[in-house]
Structure 1
Amino acid sequence: MDPLIPAHLDHLVVTVPDLSAAVAEIEATTRVRAVPGGRHPGLGTANFLIGLAPAGWEAGARTYLEILGPDPEQERPADGTLPLDAHLATTPRLQTWAIHPPAFAAKVAAANTEGVDVGEVRDMSRETADGELLEWQLTSRAPLPGEGTQPFLIDWGLSRHPAEGELPSLELLGFAIESPEPDRTRFALEVLGASDTEVVAGPEFRLRARLRGPGGELAF
């Protein structure tokens, strides 16, 4: 049976306490080394990226793995918090995920109508390692809805999608949500445009993914 990978998957977010150590650990497991993505000025974080090749998707699909952690060259915000609760990471954790539905504004409106709390729409930007400015919109809520299992929505607008660059790649073998409230989780996913996501009953909210590189598999 083919794995069920959401058609509008944009990226998976792994939060880590130490970016350099996490990049080295992933490389040791998979023999794929993440490349610098860029910094988030004023937010205290930076990221590294690896392209994802979901099983069954056509070549050239745009999705990636974001490794997010404290930027050693930035001071943390005064309150000590980091985006997506990255300040709480003690080990690499698959924290949350993003989808890029074809009608961003319409999906935000539908969520508001149906009582699915996606938070606020925020304008974001960062410079890539090559100095290119990327600008996008996303939905943002704290705490993370569904403890990170409910995806946030993202719209890259006119910016180049991060996965369009020459990224090293891992194969995405599987992706699923564990939820103690599977019916409620499925309803939210349907409203947001990700009903083609595997949801299984479990004792806690949790994201699961399996990735494979030439050196081996990585599981969260």
Structure 2
Amino acid sequence: MARIDHLVWAAPNLERAIEDLAERTGALAQPGGAHPGNGTRNAILGLGTRTYLEVLAPDPAQAPLAAPAGLSALKAPRLHTFAVAAERLDRIAAQLEKAGLPHPGVIPMSRRLPSGRLVRWRLLTPAGHPYGQVVPFFIDWGDSPHPADQTSEAGEACRLEGLTVTHPEAWSLRALLERLEVEVEVETGPPALNARLSTPRGEVAIGSA
């Protein structure tokens, strides 16, 4: 089955979100870098081997309108979506097409680390489905260093214990995720993501509500 690469914790302000996360978990997310042209920047909290939490927020150094409108409108951080690791994005694309789901193709992206090193990766995001952000996107880091490998010992003290996806049409969502080899708990309920983290301060729950 596919491995969860990272969770996206969206926030209106990066510094305040890092502080909030540190208060809840006892671990400090590390600066990640900016996403040129996308209006965002991030910080990284390691959640185990090649798994991490991305704190994503608008980048004040970029044009205000470049950031997704939803980020600036948030009142508080929330779990936005998640990414699944995939080395063969072409294979995933074929699976999506076979399932009748369109996609915009594989999108190359990059950001520069605080050290100055350029990191590149590729994304594939399913479209044309009614499930919104509870369906993951797929990511391939290629030869670039994985963000989880760059976190400090504080970040490494946290682990992802589980991720639950809820949706009114859980039965059909479960079938789609199984077809894409995404192994998460799927339950019936309002659309939501809920993750359980083990941290220096015990188990911490973060969600999209």
Q: Which TM-score bucket, shorter chain as reference?
A: 0.7 to 0.9
Q: Which digits, 9 at most, give the CA deviation of each residue in 1:186-217, with x for residues without a partner?
A: 122123221x2110111x21110011321244
Q: Which runs of 5+ in 2 are unaligned?
A: none
Q: How far apart are residue 92 of structure 1 and its match?
A: 0.8
Give the match's secondary structure for 2:15: helix
Check the 8 A contact 1:212/1:218 in 2, yes or no.
yes
- Identify the residue that residue 187 of structure 2 maps to in structure 1: 200
Q: How far apart are residue 9 of structure 1 and its match?
A: 0.7
Q: Distance in 2 between matches of 1:64 and 1:10?
A: 7
Percentage of pairs with the same residue: 38
Check the 8 A contact 2:45/2:151 in 1, yes or no.
no
- Identify the residue that residue 84 of structure 2 maps to in structure 1: 99
Q: How far apart are residue 29 of structure 1 and its match?
A: 1.4
Q: Which runs of 5+ in 1 are unaligned?
A: 1-5, 54-60
Q: CA RMSD in A?
A: 2.2
Q: TM-score, normalised by structure 1?
A: 0.84
CA spacing shift, 1:91–1:27, aligned 2, 3 Å? same
Q: Which digits, 9 at most, give the CA deviation of each residue in 1:59-107, with x for residues without a partner?
A: xx21100000011222223xx5428x43342211110000013422111
Q: What count of residue pairs does the alignment treat as equivalent? A: 203
Verify: 1:67 aligned to 2:51, yes or no.
no
- Identify the residue that residue 135 of structure 2 maps to in structure 1: 150
Verify: 1:214 aligned to 2:209, yes or no.
no
Check the 8 A contact 1:120/1:141 in 2, yes or no.
no
Q: Distance in 2 between matches of 1:156 and 1:24?
A: 28
Q: TM-score, normalised by structure 2?
A: 0.88
Q: How far apart are residue 143 of structure 1 and its match?
A: 9.0
Give the match's secondary structure for 2:176: helix
Verify: 1:177 aligned to 2:133, yes or no.
no
Check the 8 A contact 1:107/1:191 in 2, yes or no.
no
CA spacing shift, 1:185–1:193, aligned 2, 3 Å? same
